[in-house]
């Protein structure tokens, strides 16, 4: 059997060591890459290929058709951040609607706190202002028209009140003389009941008078104004301290209408004829 024991190590002659050292130095001077460099270059090349492939895939995702512009790109990252990589939270694309279209989701604007043009959006959209009354009792009244209907918009005591639409051709019935009602804090405590009514004077009526008598005994006469089209509008506003009792047990508001030698009267039913508003409760 052959002897597999390796021969003992022998020291390398000094001449041999010097020759190997000289060969290595010469190779370095001639620009030949070292063993480490020969291993490094293939690794760098492979990394470059991976980078190019990755960039090409990203470009395909965000390119697409023009119709998809603005749509966030789905991320496959496992990052727990809510913002895409490379974007700050303020730069993160959002498809949430504007504050104007979200309405009252976070307890923002409430009904009756916006200008007339906004409050009208759900009552008579597209209506135009046609007549305005001077300020009375700390508020203003305007009439808005669209087609064959109009609405009254009254702003006072921090509340915008829009009445239910009525026909441009007045109808002699109690609905024409209904009042809106809001309750505002009174200076001496309690609340003030603020009643507002108004409408269009029938065409051709030279004499037209509307008056309201309230539970406190006061009678308030309606006033009139004319719009640029020559139409006459009437409005009544009255505020009084509410005694806090059961309104249903109070004397009803009494309306008297006089025109062309004719007189008509109506007693307004509490809760029905005293809630003419359309944009908020009574």
Q: Are residues 34 and 167 in the same domain?
A: no
Q: Are residues 49 and 158 in the same domain?
A: no
Instruction: Report the DSSP beta bridge partners of residue 208.
Output: 259
Q: Does 6 reside within a domain?
A: no
Give the span between the Cα atoms of 149 and 127, in whole angstroms. Answer: 9
Q: Does 238 reside within a domain?
A: yes
12 pLDDT band, cuts 50/70/90, is low
User: What pLDDT is attached to residue 17?
Assistant: 62
Q: Does 128 reside within a domain?
A: yes
Q: Which residue has the tokens 């966030």?
A: 72
pLDDT digits (tens, 9 = 90+) for 59-78: 334 344 444 333 333 333 33
Q: What is the DSSP letter of 268?
A: P
Q: Are residues 151 and 49 in the same domain?
A: no
Give the span between the Cα atoms of 76 and 266, in whole angstroms. Answer: 72
Helix, strand or coil, per DSSP, at residue 123: coil
Instruction: State the chain's mean pLDDT as an integer.
Output: 74
Q: Does 74 reside within a domain?
A: no
Q: Does 274 reside within a domain?
A: no
Residue 3 or 142, more confident? 142
Q: Are residues 40 and 166 in the same domain?
A: no
Rounded to 5 degrees, φ, ψ at 126 are: 85, 5
In the chain, how many domains are there? Answer: 2
Q: Are residues 262 and 133 in the same domain?
A: yes
Q: Does 2 reside within a domain?
A: no
CB 166 within 8 A of CB 180: no
Q: Does 223 reside within a domain?
A: yes
User: What pLDDT is attached to residue 265?
Assistant: 98
Q: What is the DSSP letter of 120?
A: G
Rounded to 5 degrees, φ, ψ at 118 are: -80, -40
Q: Are residues 120 and 220 in the same domain?
A: yes
170 pLDDT band, cuts 50/70/90, is very high
Mean pLDDT of 68-91: 34
Q: Are residues 177 and 257 in the same domain?
A: yes
Q: Are residues 126 and 253 in the same domain?
A: yes
Q: Are residues 137 and 244 in the same domain?
A: yes
Rounded to 5 degrees, φ, ψ at 135 are: -60, 135
Q: Does 158 reside within a domain?
A: yes
pLDDT digits (tens, 9 = 90+) for 237-269: 999 998 778 889 999 999 999 998 899 999 999
Q: Is 81 exposed, middle or buried (CB count within 10 Å of its CB: 0-12, 13-18, 19+)?
A: exposed
Give the span between the Cα atoms of 12 and 17, in whole angstroms. Answer: 7
Q: Are residues 181 and 47 in the same domain?
A: no
Instruction: Supply the range of the domain harboring residue 262.
Output: 116-267
Give the span between the Cα atoms of 242 and 160, in whole angstroms. Answer: 20
């Amino acid at each position: 059997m052959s002897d597999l024991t390796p021969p003992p190590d022998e020291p390398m002659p000094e001449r041999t060591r010097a020759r190997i050292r000289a060969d290595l130095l010469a190779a370095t001077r001639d620009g030949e890459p070292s063993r480490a460099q020969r291993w490094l270059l293939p690794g760098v090349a492979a990394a470059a290929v991976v980078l190019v492939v990755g960039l090409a895939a990203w470009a395909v995702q965000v390119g697409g058709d023009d119709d998809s512009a603005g749509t966030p790109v789905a991320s496959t990252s496992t990052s727990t951040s809510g913002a895409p990589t490379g974007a700050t939270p303020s730069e993160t694309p959002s498809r949430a609607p504007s504050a104007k279209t979200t309405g009252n989701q976070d307890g923002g604007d409430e009904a009756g706190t916006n200008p007339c043009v906004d409050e009208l959006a759900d009552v008579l959209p597209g209506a135009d202002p046609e007549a305005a009354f001077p300020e009375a009792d700390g508020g203003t009244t305007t009439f808005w028209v669209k087609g064959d209907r109009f609405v009254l918009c009254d702003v006072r005591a921090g509340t915008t009140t829009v009445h239910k639409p009525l026909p441009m051709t007045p109808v002699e019935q109690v609905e024409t003389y209904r009042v809106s009602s809001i309750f505002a804090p009174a200076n001496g405590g309690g609340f003030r009941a603020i009643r507002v009514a108004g409408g269009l004077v029938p065409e051709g009526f030279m004499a037209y008078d509307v008056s309201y008598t309230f539970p406190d005994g006061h009678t308030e006469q309606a006033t009139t104004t004319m719009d640029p089209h020559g139409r006459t509008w009437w409005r009544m506003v009255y505020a009084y301290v509410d005694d806090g009792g059961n309104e249903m047990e109070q004397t009803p508001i009494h309306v008297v209408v006089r025109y062309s030698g004719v007189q008509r009267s109506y007693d307004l039913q509490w809760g029905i004829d005293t809630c003419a508003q359309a944009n908020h409760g009574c």
